[in-house]
Chain A
Amino acid sequence: AQSVTQLDSQVPVFEEAPVELRCNYSSSVSVYLFWYVQYPNQGLQLLLKYLSGSTLVKGINGFEAEFNKSQTSFHLRKPSVHISDTAEYFCAVSVRTGGFKTIFGAGTRLFVKA
């Protein structure tokens, strides 16, 4: 079975500081990896995804993530955050084994303070 662990439930950070949101996964088969963002009272929207190829993936709003197969991690980073980045961030894993599923982590709430 697949699982996703987001290691931090809340991350407070000051505006213009760098941030890293951590995500680890477990799977016995190849995975696709995603980060989604959810702003208050809205649905989720895609930040970035890893399917194959380069392990460093760039997404929208200046975010990037690095796939590390040996550590089974897909951490999300941004070098300088803005107040508008305050939201909940979800790491997700998709696998294709006799069907299809996307499993989400519990989420990390990012608070950006002025």
Chain B
Amino acid sequence: NAGVTQTPKFRVLKTGQSMTLLCAQDMNHEYMYWYRQDPGMGLRLIHYSVGEGTTAKGEVPDGYNVSRLKKQNFLLGLESAAPSQTSVYFCASSYELDRQNTNTEAFFGQGTRLTVV
């Protein structure tokens, strides 16, 4: 039971470098999300996707891009990393929200700890 898998688990980047975080889910979920977690701020939504080929901005999208080319994968890209992007990044997935569907909760990956120096 893999659930939601994030790679890598840890990464250190220099300012200005680029990288891509990969999220994969094997639950056939329609919705996928990227959050960042910072002390005292909870989880803030970066981008999300309601289906293959579609993405949307969340609360803090600046400096990030995403792609959902396959239903099971959701990629988060940093084109030019900045120290302010040092954070723990969580990917999550869920079924479509519907009051007839009780399986509405999000399933989370284990997180990626990113440090930008």
B58 within 8 Å of A by Cβ?
yes
Q: Is the CB of B90 within 8 A of A96?
A: no
B56 within 8 Å of A by Cβ?
yes
Separation in Å of the B17 CB from the closest CB of chain A?
25
- Residues in A48-70 with C-beta less than 8 Å from chain B: 49, 51-52
B33 within 8 Å of A by Cβ?
yes
Q: Is the CB of B45 within 8 A of A52?
A: no
Separation in Å of the B56 CB from the closest CB of chain A?
6
Nearest A residue to B101 by beta-carbon distance?
Answer: A51
Q: Is the CB of B108 within 8 A of A45?
A: yes
Known interface pairs A43-B90, A102-B106; 11 further A-B residue pairs with C-beta atoms within 8 A, sorted by A's residue number: A36-B108, A43-B110, A43-B111, A44-B43, A46-B106, A49-B104, A52-B99, A102-B33, A102-B45, A103-B45, A103-B59
